Amino acid sequence: MIAIIGLGYVGLPLAIEFAKKYHVIGYDINKQRVEELNSGKDSTYEADIENMIYVMNLKKSSNEKGLSFSYKEEDLRSANTYIVTVPTPIDENNSPDLSHLINASEMIGRIISKGDIVIYESTTYPGCTEEDCIPVIEKSSGLKFNKDFYAGYSPERINPGDKVNTLTKIKKVTSGSTPEIADKVDALYNSIIEAGTHKAPSIKVAEASKIIENAQRDVNISFVNELALIFDKIGIDTHDVLEAAGTKWNFLKYSPGLVGGHCISVDPYYLASKAETLGYIPQVILSGRHVNNSIAPFIANKVMKLMIQKDHKIKGSNVLILGITFKENCPDIRNTKVVDVYKELRDFGINVDIYDPIASPEEVKYKFGIKLIKEIDHNKEYAAIIHSVSHFEFKSFDFEKYHNKNTVIFDVKTIINRSLIDGRL
């Protein structure tokens, strides 16, 4: 039996795919989340509900495959393969927060048996699995690593909200703590991944391969974000420049924007932290983070300048932000930088409304203390509207109406008709 520890954006799709061929139990400490899934619903929108219900029903008629969910630790005891897909966030000091990994490892240690394999998918720095997690399992279980139990690492490559590049369509990197276990882990994933697998020579290499994927994207985006800051001072449009430069075949077509979410804006800090413990202070990685973190206040201040140019007062004015999630058509609000734009505007005495048809109002209120508006009052006078997330619903928004009312319209995502906007990133 395979136990999937953590049923979020990564764990749930993985559990569903494995359950088509194996007996799988999906575990989460959140009882409400488990009850939601047992009722056939998924608030992350990542699951193929039809497939999820199919494998849940499959479990009722088969002892060899199918999916069930539980929040009870004891229900996992009969598993022989544990796959850990818990969050790996950063703390207020941008340092790695391994608490979820450590807690999951302690729990596995209490129920693991001889011969079992523990596979980690959570993104972390090279060495974390063997140096931080495995010792916890050894201490909790009393078993010896690579003698009584084994480990593997296969980094998740889920792209939240992406319905094209799904789990089985993306090549999977695999690894194991011994050559034999590496083969077993690789074969396990190969049985469900249509795109195939790549067996890394070690767990550390597999860990590093994942973390540099996101660090590379972060650095590339930081470059065009810095261009946006420079070109704003010059007085030329960044996208005009990128469109011209993009006519060369080898130009990398990245666009400026807010860099949030659980991966790109977090993972570079894990790599930087590991480097610092080894006595090396990374320059490029941290400078990229610095630039990307400066974009939210830049947007807020740019909007206020445009408001002044249109004779709007700052203090006491109304501003509408469209979208709070970290990306379009996805309810994920983890580490969204839209909140930073909101806070910057609020610091100047502006009344800010945020409308998002996809985000959970309860979750937004709990995590950020922000109350989303349920619907847009089109009779309300807004001095500015910031289009921050390209949800499908916003494609039909009547920006022309507000443009004609002297409202500042700022397009972070560059999809609004250019004649209707006052500024864009």
Domain ranges in the chain are 2-204, 235-425
Write down the catalytic residue from 128, 133, 263, 330.
Answer: 263
Q: Could you tell me if 46 and 16 are in contact, meaning their C-beta atoms sit under 8 angstroms apart?
A: no
Could you tell me if 152 and 176 are in contact, meaning their C-beta atoms sit under 8 angstroms apart? yes
Nearest-CA neighbor of 270 among 129, 123, 103, 152? Answer: 123
What count of residues does the chain have?
A: 425
Residue 91 CA to residue 94 CA, distance in Å, equals: 5
Residues 421, 281: Cα–Cα separation, whole Å: 42
Strands 197-199 and 172-174: parallel
How confident is the model over 119-154, as pLDDT tens digits?
A: 999 999 999 999 999 999 999 999 999 999 999 999
The reply to whether 235-425 shares the fold of 2-204 is yes
Tell me the C-alpha distance between 6 and 27, whole Å. Answer: 6
Min mean pLDDT across 47-51, 87-91, 356-360 is at 47-51
Residue 197, pLDDT > 80, answer: yes
Q: HEC profile for 49-101?
A: HHHHHHHHHHHHHCCCCEEEEECCHHHHCCCCEEEECCCCCECCCCCECCHHH
At residue 62, φ and ψ (nearest 5 deg) are: -145, 145
Place domain 235-425 in its CATH homologous superfamily.
NAD(P)-binding Rossmann-like Domain (3.40.50.720)
- For 2-204, give the CATH class: alpha beta
Q: What's the rounded mean pLDDT across residues 344-354?
A: 98
For 90-121, write each residue's pLDDT tens digit.
999 999 999 999 999 999 999 999 999 999 99
pLDDT band at 60 (very low <50, low <70, confident <90, very high): confident
**Known catalytic membership, residue 330:** no
Q: Write the DSSP assignment of 242-270 as a string of letters.
A: HHHHTTSTT----------TTTTTTHHHH
